[in-house]
Amino acid sequence: MRHIVHEVKFANGAKGLFINIPDATVMSFEYNFRAGEYLVTKNKFETPHLMEHMLLGANELIPKAHDFKAEFEKNGAYCNASTGTYDVIYEAECADFEWDRIESMMRLAITRPLFLPEEFLAESGNVREELVTRSNNHFRNLALALSKAYHLRVLTDQERLDRLQNVTLLDIKRHYKRTHTASNLRFVIAGKLPVSRRRKISECIENIALPKGEGRLALPEEHPVALKRPLNIKNDTVKNIYFYIDTYILRQLRDEEMD
């Protein structure tokens, strides 16, 4: 589809891309904070994951997660979030006619979460259920086992389950405060983005109600250790054979190589 990409940098440290697609009928938003699992101890490994579950919920304007979700989705809009080793990502998609309402609600959720005790308990249960469900994903289990054998910073889902109870609401609030700063924010917004719309969104992000912070948080130094032989996990309860292959290079890939 025909599109034009605009890279923007703001005085508060936030950076991102506007992807102008003149014929688009929907708008997509993605907000990225370097706030992943590498920033916490293994004993508190689920802190970023629990924070991500809670953030798109109760906030200062709409103090119940259920009400926020209902208001957000009333015209068919969608929002979700994910946590990885390095980043926490919040995303949304909506019809073009309500882009400003959805942009405002995403910004509200990111900047004014309440982190209520009752929702902490509820989301702890949801995370536990999610981790238990993942235990049947053999490809995921192989990927985690391989990464662990390479000496990368991962835990198996069972190890994560065992440590879930160690995370407190205070841990989540501290992690949020450390990571959710303007200078740690990266974003991609795509859709119909004429100059006037880009200008309005830019003003919102440049004045986002987050502390400026000390810049983009640094990635960890990780040095994969090559395996001398293939990793073999024997499980007599699994009828099929599953293969998973990982490759690593000991430097950052150029954009052309990544493409």
What is the CATH classification number for the domain harbouring 118?
3.30.830.10
Local confidence band at 250 (pLDDT 50, 70, 90 cut-offs): confident
pLDDT attached to residue 249: 82
Neighbours of 5 (CB within 10 A): 10
Query: What value does the mean pLDDT take over residues 228-239?
Result: 90
Q: What is the pLDDT of residues 58-108, one digit of tens each?
A: 999 999 999 999 999 999 999 999 999 999 999 999 999 999 999 999 999
Q: What's the one-letter identity of residue 77?
A: A
Whether 115 maps to a domain, the answer reads yes
| 135-144, 186-195, 241-250: which is most confident | 186-195
Query: What value does the mean pLDDT take over residues 154-161?
Result: 93
Residue 120 domain boundaries? 4-136+167-218
Q: Could you give the CA distance from residue 147 to residue 225 in angstroms, rounded to a whole number?
A: 10
Query: What DSSP assignment string belongs to 65-114?
Result: HHHHHHHHTTTS-EEEEEE-SS-EEEEEEEEGGGHHHHHHHHHHHHH-B-
Q: What is the pLDDT of residues 165-202, one digit of tens each?
A: 999 999 999 999 999 999 999 999 999 999 999 999 99
Residue 1: pLDDT over 80: no
Local confidence band at 252 (pLDDT 50, 70, 90 cut-offs): confident
pLDDT attached to residue 16: 98
pLDDT attached to residue 99: 98
pLDDT attached to residue 83: 97
As a whole-number percent, the residues of the chain with pLDDT over 90 amount to 86
C-alpha neighbours within 13 Å on the C-beta side of residue 225 = 9
Of the listed ranges 40-49, 80-89, 134-143, 181-190, the least confidently predicted one is 134-143
Whether 96 maps to a domain, the answer reads yes
Query: What value does the mean pLDDT take over residues 6-12?
Result: 98
Residue 222: pLDDT over 90: no
Whether 19 maps to a domain, the answer reads yes
Local confidence band at 130 (pLDDT 50, 70, 90 cut-offs): very high
Whether 55 maps to a domain, the answer reads yes
Whether 229 maps to a domain, the answer reads no
Whether 245 maps to a domain, the answer reads no
pLDDT attached to residue 258: 87
Q: With left for phi above 0 and alpha for psi between -120 and 50, is residue 115 left, alpha or beta?
A: left
pLDDT attached to residue 85: 94
Whether 246 maps to a domain, the answer reads no
pLDDT attached to residue 81: 97
Whether 152 maps to a domain, the answer reads no
- Total of domains in the chain: 1
Residue written as tokens 């101890």? Answer: 41
